[in-house]
């Protein structure tokens, strides 16, 4: 049998999730999928069934929220009726409320009243996806959307009280905890969209997570949304440039917008390396800033990008092989053999050329092609050869080595 504790995630055994919810999507009738529940209390009596001789199963008090009636529900279940699910990535502070048995009640009130909390299963429910076939336009198209029937609301703590129930150990064996529950209950208030009013209830502290304050980065991040700045972030997995000893440790993003995702903010951005729109939680930015001093900083576009080719002004500056020096970084606009236009950041390794045909006379000279050999950051640092004639724009990044390496 599984070892169950307060704060663990469980669901009925017919739930499709096995380990986590990162790869499993739900089709058919997603409404028949049971909720992910949090264990609020465990009863483990040191007693045995008189007829079978087997130890009496653990009883689990499980809690979940349903949007269908706008209420929290608790259900006592036997341990063989449910399966345990692992903890998954969350932006809640889940450790701070798990073990607060040794604190003074007034101290806890001063510390937590007014704070925002949420049931710790929120990320399971927030990321739950259902897939379906849409044929509204006469064509069958596979689509997906979030299945949010059991996502718990974010709540505000309005009081902290001592739980009348207490942990109890077996009178026969001091190592057996017969009743496991939280010492303190948090009285919380939330907006009930089902009744269009406010609701209140008491919750064991061990099943709640504290919503982290993101305001310290919110105003700063908003400033970057003007479009004039780029953020320099540290890569979790550095890029090793092919055939060199150089490693790319930082990458550049263009902030696009802020998105609020139920209980945390995400920064949507354009990755100048991968050339795609992605997002990052502000909590991760906070973590990176604390982990690596000055690993997150901003620069104005003018401080990142230098000379642009072709350049039109008092003198015409065309794209020639002479502008590409070894170890220089460029942002280029390139047309490949299939006429696809891409932008990519490259680090120049060298230049090469080859001739096609032969000279008949001055009217039909031998044609020479120039290629720029470079590490392409769009292709994970692998070497690529760029036909000079197909580079339609090249913008030099003067301090590329300092920014990226």
Question: Please, what is the average pLDDT of the chain?
Answer: 85
Instruction: Indicate the domain borders of the chain.
Output: 9-211, 215-295, 308-404
Q: Would you call 52 helix, strand, or coil by DSSP?
A: coil
Q: Closest by alpha carbon to 188, among 210, 171, 166, 167?
A: 210
What is the crossing angle of helices 215-223 and 282-291, to 10°?
Answer: 100
Cα→Cα distances 179→44, 50, 75, 165, 168, Å:
6, 21, 16, 9, 5
Judge whether residue 153 has pLDDT over 90: yes
The helices-and-strands tally (H runs, E runs) of the chain is 6, 26
> DSSP secondary-structure letter at 81?
G
Would you state the pLDDT for residue 151?
Answer: 94
Task: Find out if CATH 2.30.30 is the number for domain 308-404.
Answer: yes
Contact 125, 91 (CB under 8 A): no
| Tens-digit pLDDT profile for residues 98-137 | 878 777 889 999 999 999 999 999 999 998 888 877 777 7
Return the sign of the alpha-carbon dihedral for residues 200, 204, 208, 211.
positive
Sheet holding 155-162, edge to edge: 92-93, 208-211, 116-119, 155-162, 184-192, 197-204
Among the ranges given (198-202, 253-257, 288-292), the one the predictor scored with the smallest mean pLDDT:
288-292
Indicate the pLDDT class of residue 337, thresholds 50, 70 and 90: confident
């Amino acid at each position: 049998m599984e070892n169950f504790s307060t704060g663990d995630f469980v669901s009925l055994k017919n739930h499709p999730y096995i380990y986590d919810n990162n790869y499993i999507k739900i089709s058919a009738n997603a409404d028949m999928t049971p909720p992910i529940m949090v264990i609020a209390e465990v009863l483990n009596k040191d007693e045995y069934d008189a007829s079978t001789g087997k130890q009496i199963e653990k009883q689990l008090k499980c809690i979940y929220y349903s949007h269908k009636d706008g209420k929290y529900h608790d259900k006592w279940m036997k341990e063989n009726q449910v399966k345990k699910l692992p903890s998954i990535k969350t932006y809640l502070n889940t450790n701070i409320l798990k073990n607060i048995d040794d604190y003074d009640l007034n101290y806890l009130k001063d510390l937590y009243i007014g704070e925002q909390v949420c049931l710790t299963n929120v990320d399971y429910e927030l990321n739950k996806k259902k897939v379906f076939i849409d044929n509204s336009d006469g064509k069958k198209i596979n689509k997906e959307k979030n299945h949010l029937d059991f996502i718990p609301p974010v709540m505000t703590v309005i009081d902290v009280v001592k739980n009348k129930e207490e942990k109890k150990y077996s009178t026969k064996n001091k190592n057996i905890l017969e009743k496991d529950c939280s010492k303190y209950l948090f009285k919380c208030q939330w907006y009930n969209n089902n009744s269009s009013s406010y609701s209140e209830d008491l919750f064991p502290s061990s099943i709640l997570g504290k919503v982290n304050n993101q305001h310290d980065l919110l105003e700063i991040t908003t400033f970057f949304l003007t479009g004039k700045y780029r953020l320099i972030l540290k890569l979790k997995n550095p890029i090793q440039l092919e055939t060199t000893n150089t490693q790319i440790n930082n990458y550049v993003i263009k902030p696009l917008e802020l998105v609020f995702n139920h209980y945390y903010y995400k920064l949507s951005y354009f990755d100048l390396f991968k050339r795609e729109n992605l997002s990052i939680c502000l909590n991760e930015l906070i973590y990176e800033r604390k982990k690596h001093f000055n690993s997150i900083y901003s620069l104005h576009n003018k401080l990142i990008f230098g000379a642009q080719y072709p350049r039109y002004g008092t003198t015409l500056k065309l794209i020639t092989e002479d502008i590409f020096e070894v170890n220089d970084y460029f942002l280029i606009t390139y047309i490949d053999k299939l006429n696809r236009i891409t932008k990519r950041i490259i680090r120049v390794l060298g230049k090469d050329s080859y001739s096609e045909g032969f000279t008949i006379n001055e009217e039909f000279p031998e044609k020479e092609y120039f290629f720029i050999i470079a590490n392409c950051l769009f292709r994970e640092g692998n070497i690529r050869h760029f036909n000079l004639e197909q580079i339609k724009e090249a913008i030099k990044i003067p301090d590329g080595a300092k920014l990226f390496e």
